[in-house]
């Protein structure tokens, strides 16, 4: 089985690079790490970058996960190939673009583009936000799935993820102690469905709510609290229709908890997404 150490970055195509970068800095509160040609790299924590906007097709999304050793990367390539995935071995130039020592790329059964990376770069300097958003780091993504049952098996049996909870058929998957790093939401097409950053406290969530309202940025869900992870959240719209989320207070499932923890199954109703009563304006969260 493949072992995923952590989520690493998201690469997004965008129709308007300058507008997307302005949003990432002025609204999200990310820091520009560097600009290179048609790409801009942005930081939200000690990693070299956690978001890369590239001029191009807004439907072009890639999510990256880290493995610990070169041997694990080679093992992952072999396992994925044996199970019918077309694996692309990254070139030296492509690895340099991603600021990693080595990587492979493949698509999950729904067509989501995934990088597995070895030895990604860290930054030698502290993350300095472009605005005081309270961000503590890039935490998880939602992915669209054309078949949640099939894709759950793919991510758990091949990639070592574990189911924390399900909302209807949508599994919330962990790869470490955090309640989920990947969530698979039924859709009719692939791609990254939302991008989450953790913030320090509920104060940061509520501060963001009023800032976003003042700037007329569409709030898509919240403020609210997930009954699954326990996190308090706010979802809002970004460039090219991407949904971003701030959340705080996510549940941890420790090694000791693993002995007794069993995934819970929630019905696909609004109350399963928010225990406070907020109603989502996000297609994948609606029945």
Point out the domain boundary residue: 93, 118, 143. Answer: 118
**Residue among 151, 194, 141, 162 nearest 9 (CA):** 141
Burial 155-174 (b: 16+ CB within 10 A, else e): beebbebbbbbbbebbbbbb
Point out the domain boundary residue: 91, 118, 145. Answer: 118
pLDDT, tens only, 80-127: 999 999 999 999 999 999 999 999 999 999 999 999 999 999 998 999
Taking the alpha carbons of 169, 175, 179, 183 in that order, is the dihedral positive or negative? negative
Is there a single domain that holds both residue 50 and residue 113?
Answer: yes
Please state the rounded mean pLDDT for residues 12-29.
Answer: 97
Give pLDDT, residue 287.
73
In a domain, 127, yes or no: no
In a domain, 130, yes or no: no
pLDDT, tens only, 136-184: 999 999 999 999 999 999 999 999 999 999 999 999 999 999 999 999 9
pLDDT, tens only, 192-220: 999 999 999 999 999 999 999 999 999 99
Say how many domains are in the chain: 2
pLDDT, tens only, 22-73: 999 999 999 999 999 999 999 999 999 999 999 999 999 999 999 999 999 9
Point out the domain boundary residue: 118, 144, 162. Answer: 118
Confidence of residue 231 (pLDDT cuts 50, 70, 90): very high
Report the distance separating Cα 28 and Cα 46, nearest Å: 17
| Residue 137 three-state SS | strand
In a domain, 260, yes or no: yes
Is there a single domain that holds both residue 102 and residue 150?
Answer: no
Is there a single domain that holds both residue 182 and residue 247?
Answer: yes
In a domain, 177, yes or no: yes
Domain of 34: which CATH number? 3.10.180.10
Which residue range is the domain that position 158 belongs to?
135-285
pLDDT, tens only, 184-199: 999 999 999 999 999 9
Give pLDDT, residue 103.
98
In a domain, 145, yes or no: yes
Confidence of residue 259 (pLDDT cuts 50, 70, 90): confident
In a domain, 211, yes or no: yes
């Amino acid at each position: 089985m493949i072992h995923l150490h952590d989520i690493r970055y998201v690469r997004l195509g965008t129709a308007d690079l300058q507008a997307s970068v302005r949003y990432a800095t002025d609204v999200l509160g990310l820091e520009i790490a560097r600009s290179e040609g048609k790409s801009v790299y942005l930081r939200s924590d000690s990693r070299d970058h956690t978001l890369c906007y590239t001029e191009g097709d807004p439907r072009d999304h890639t999510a990256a996960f880290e493995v610990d050793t070169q041997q694990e990367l080679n093992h992952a390539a072999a396992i994925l190939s044996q199970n019918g995935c077309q694996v692309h071995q990254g070139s030296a130039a492509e690895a340099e673009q991603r600021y990693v020592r080595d990587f492979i790329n493949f698509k999950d059964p729904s067509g989501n583009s995934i990088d597995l990376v070895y030895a990604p770069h860290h930054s030698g300097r502290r993350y300095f936000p472009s605005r005081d958003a309270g961000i503590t780091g890039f935490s998880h993504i939602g992915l669209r799935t054309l078949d949640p049952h099939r894709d759950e098996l793919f991510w758990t049996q091949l990639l070592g993820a574990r189911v924390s909870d399900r909302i209807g058929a949508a599994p919330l998957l962990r790869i470490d102690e955090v309640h989920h790093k990947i969530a698979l939401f039924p859709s009719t097409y692939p791609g990254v469905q939302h991008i989450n950053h953790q913030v320090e406290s509920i104060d940061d969530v509520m501060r963001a709510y009023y800032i976003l309202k003042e700037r007329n940025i569409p709030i898509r869900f919240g403020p609210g609290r997930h009954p699954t992870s326990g996190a308090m959240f706010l979802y809002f719209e970004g460039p090219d229709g991407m949904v971003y989320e701030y959340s705080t207070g996510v549940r941890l499932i420790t090694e000791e908890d693993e002995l007794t923890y069993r995934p819970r199954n929630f019905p696909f109703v609004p109350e399963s997404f928010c225990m406070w009563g907020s109603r989502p304006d996000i297609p994948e969260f609606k029945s």
